[in-house]
């Protein structure tokens, strides 16, 4: 038995011994996840049951450098978790699942089922030959069989590196992995999107016209792990789009570690499904590290939860967490924000603001801001608001000749757009990322008829 299969079997043993997430677990008590069997996919789909030499069929990650990629080299390695050498490289330096006690079972399930992953490094000393001009050369590493891509040329401190990363589901049950390192002083903009495409094993040749997220699409299960490492003074603007199918079970776990002076900005656009979890842990380890996370969550009669845990460990660190939930029907939507300021984290600044708006029906919304403060010289504020679209805003919108449906859609879109713009902070960046267009695309019919109003407005 090779080490990769042994590692996968050991992960399964951890789940069997420690058990799955209990319904009474504090972090998950408002929206318990499906049972372990859902995420493991049965023995037939597990890495442990695959032949020792089975290669990955086709990695689901597609990387597209944008523009001239002016800041140094972008290195990308697609790695096969079934190969012992590549698996060791793939998981090198990553924390064990037990380091996140609340969600450890998800971590062990990921290790048991992970078939492939992508490691990216932006900036620094690259080993690949710079192609320049945004063109990518792809070469095979003869020693390990891993695919490697190197992009870029001369470093520059003026312009950020732009990357578009898309993941398309290739299997009915999967556990993809992404590791991104941003070198010291480098600025990066990453657009990460997840398509709910039919699994290859279940796709019929006549299903070419099936739209992602449609009722005709086969349900999928995805347990994603994302690990981000930002060097001293590095900056990462991260736009994430997660729009699974209506019956899918999805869990995205993101762990970011920031060194001195690093800044991480995340803008999330996500829609509900059978079960949808977005869990973020941000470690502000270095002095003056900062993070801003904003999420717009759509839940049209579906389930979605966003969990954000920020650890302030360095001095003069700052964090801002903001979320807007738009729910309808019998939806279940939860936002859990927990910020901890460690002893000695002097002059830390913390802000949490959670909002929920029922757009129709009788949705259940749970908003939980929480501060854990172990140092007295800090600034901290948190709050949560839940309620309908403000009547005064509707009144003024109606005065412009709009009917109630158009007025409500206009106000909701404006609130969502403003939240993401506040997080991203740079008007040019917001425009370049086409945030408003992405909001309208993901929203679909989420507003109980308001989408039609938005289409009328935008043509």
> What is the arithmetic mean of pLDDT over 290-318?
96
**158 or 370: which leads in pLDDT:** 370
pLDDT class of 85 with cuts at 50, 70, 90: very high
Q: What is the pLDDT of residues 272-295, one digit of tens each?
A: 999 999 999 999 999 999 999 999
Phi-psi region at 154: left, alpha or beta (left = phi > 0; alpha = psi -120 to 50): beta
**What gap in Å lies between CA 20 and CA 23, rounded to an integer?**
9
DSSP 140-189: E-TTT--EEEEEE-S--SSS-EEEEEEEE--SSEE--EEEEEE-TT-EEE
For the ranges 102-106, 349-353, 394-398, 418-422, the lowest mean pLDDT is seen at: 394-398
Distances (CA, A) of 436 to 220, 322, 352: 28, 18, 23
- Residue ranges per domain, the chain? 3-286, 390-459
Token duo for residue 259: 């060194």
Q: Band of the pLDDT at 225, cuts 50, 70, 90?
A: very high
Q: How would you label 77-93 residue by residue, b for 16+ Cβ within 10 Å and e otherwise?
A: bbbbbbbbbbbebbbee
Q: CA nearest 443: which of 452, 430, 432, 434?
A: 452
Split at pLDDT 50, 70, 90, the class of 426 is: confident
- Is pLDDT at 52 greater than 80 in this prediction? no
Work out the average pLDDT over 389-396. 74
State how far the Cα of 91 lies from the Cα of 177, in Å rounded to an integer. Answer: 9
Q: How does DSSP classify residue 76?
A: E
Residue 385 in contact with residue 335, Cβ under 8 Å?
no
pLDDT above 70 covers what percent of the chain?
Answer: 78
Mean pLDDT estimate for the chain: 82
Pair 338, 373: CB distance under 8 Å:
no
Distance, CA of 127 to chain centre: 28
Distance set, CA 348 to CA 219, 351, 354, 374 (Å):
44, 10, 20, 11
Answer yes or no: are the C-beta atoms of 225 and 177 closer than 8 Å.
yes
Contact of 261 with 291, CB cutoff 8 Å:
no
Evaluate if residue 106 carries a pLDDT over 90.
yes
Distance CA 163, CA 152 (A): 12
| Weakest-pLDDT range from 199-208, 310-319, 332-341, 371-380 | 199-208
pLDDT at 142: 34
What tens digit of pLDDT does each residue of 239-256 get?
Answer: 999 999 999 999 999 999
- Tens-place pLDDT, residues 347-372: 999 999 999 999 888 999 999 999 99
Token duo for residue 35: 């049972």
CA distances 22 to 32, 107, 146, 244, 299, Å, are: 8, 15, 38, 25, 24
Do 152 and 179 form a contact (C-beta atoms < 8 A)?
no
* Better pLDDT: 410 or 82: 82
């Amino acid at each position: 038995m090779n080490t990769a299969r042994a590692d996968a079997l050991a992960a399964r043993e951890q789940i069997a011994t420690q058990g799955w997430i209990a319904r009474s677990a504090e972090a998950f008590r408002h929206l318990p996840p499906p049972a372990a069997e859902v995420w493991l996919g049965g023995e037939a789909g597990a890495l442990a049951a695959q032949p020792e030499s089975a290669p990955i069929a086709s990695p689901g990650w597609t990387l597209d450098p944008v523009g001239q990629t002016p800041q140094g080299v972008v290195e990308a390695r697609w790695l096969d978790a079934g190969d012992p050498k590549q698996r060791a490289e793939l998981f090198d330096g990553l924390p064990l699942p037990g380091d996140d006690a609340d969600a450890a079972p998800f971590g062990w399930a990921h290790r048991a089922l992970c078939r492939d992953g992508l490691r990216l490094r932006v900036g620094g000393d690259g080993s690949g030959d710079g192609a320049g001009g945004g063109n990518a050369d792809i070469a095979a590493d003869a020693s390990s069989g891993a695919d490697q891509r190197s992009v870029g040329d001369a470093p520059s401190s003026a312009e950020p590196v732009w990357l578009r990363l898309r993941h398309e589901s290739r299997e009915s049950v999967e556990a993809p992995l992404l590791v991104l390192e941003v070198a010291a002083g480098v600025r990066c903009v990453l657009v990460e999107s997840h398509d709910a495409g039919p699994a290859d094993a279940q796709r019929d040749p006549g299903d070419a016209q099936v739209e992602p997220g449609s009722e005709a699409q086969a349900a999928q299960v995805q347990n994603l792990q994302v690990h981000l490492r930002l060097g001293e003074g590095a900056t990462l603007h991260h736009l994430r789009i997660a729009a699974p199918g209506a019956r899918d079970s999805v869990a995205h776990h993101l762990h970011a570690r920031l060194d001195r002076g690093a800044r991480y900005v995340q803008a999330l656009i996500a829609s509900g499904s059978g079960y949808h979890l977005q869990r973020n842990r941000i470690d502000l380890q270095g002095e003056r590290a900062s993070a801003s996370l904003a999420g717009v969550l759509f839940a049209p009669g579906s389930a979605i939860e966003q969990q954000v845990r920020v650890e302030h460990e360095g001095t003069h660190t700052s964090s801002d967490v903001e979320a807007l939930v738009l729910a309808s029907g019998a939806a279940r939507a939860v936002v859990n924000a927990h910020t901890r300021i460690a002893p000695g984290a002097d002059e830390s600044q913390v802000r949490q603001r959670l909002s929920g708006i029922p757009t129709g029906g009788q949705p259940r919304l749970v908003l939980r801001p929480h501060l854990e403060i172990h140092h007295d010289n800090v600034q901290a504020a948190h709050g949560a608001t839940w309620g309908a679209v403000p009547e005064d805003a509707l009144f003024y919108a109606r005065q412009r000749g709009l009917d109630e449906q158009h007025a409500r859609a206009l106000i909701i879109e404006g609130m969502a757009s403003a939240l993401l713009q506040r997080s991203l902070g740079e008007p040019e960046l917001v425009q370049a990322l086409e945030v408003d267009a992405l909001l309208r695309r993901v929203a679909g019919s989420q507003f109980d008829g308001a989408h039609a109003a938005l289409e009328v407005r935008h043509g």
